[in-house]
Amino acid sequence: MTNNKQQTAVEWFSVRRDVLEIEVRLGKLSPIEYAEELTKAEQQAKEMEKEKMIEFAQEVFRNRYNQITQSLGNIADDIYNETYGSNNAQENN
């Protein structure tokens, strides 16, 4: 069984923060550079979360709209069949 779970924005940010902290400890980043990079990572994580929320809302809407469309189609079929009879009844006559 494969794991198709995507990384959340919070998980991504946590990993990025850890990497930046290691780079500071190794002397690759100054504390000021760390703060700047951390701020950039925070903004990127917020944007990632926003995109995921929009994708989720769109998926919910698509699924709900599809269900409504199917329900309306079924109602229309029922009304037609009650008014004019079903195609099967006409074919049998």
pLDDT digits (tens, 9 = 90+) for 73-84: 788 788 878 888
Residue 47 lies in a domain: yes
pLDDT at residue 87 in the model: 62
Provide the token pair at 52: 């995921």
pLDDT at residue 35 in the model: 97
pLDDT digits (tens, 9 = 90+) for 16-61: 999 999 999 999 999 999 999 999 999 999 999 999 999 988 888 8
Residue 70 lies in a domain: yes
Task: For the full predicted model, state whether its pTM sits above 0.75.
Answer: no
Residue 64 lies in a domain: yes
Residue 15 lies in a domain: yes
Residue 54 lies in a domain: yes
What are the residues whose beta carbons fall under 8 Å from the beta carbon of 63, sequence distance 6 or more?
none
Provide the token pair at 44: 């990127």
Residue 71, amino acid = S
Residue 4 lies in a domain: no
Residue 37 lies in a domain: yes
Torsion, CA 81, CA 86, CA 90, CA 92, rounded to 10: -140
Number of structural domains, the chain?
A: 1
Q: Which domain holds residue 80?
A: 9-92
Residue 52 lies in a domain: yes
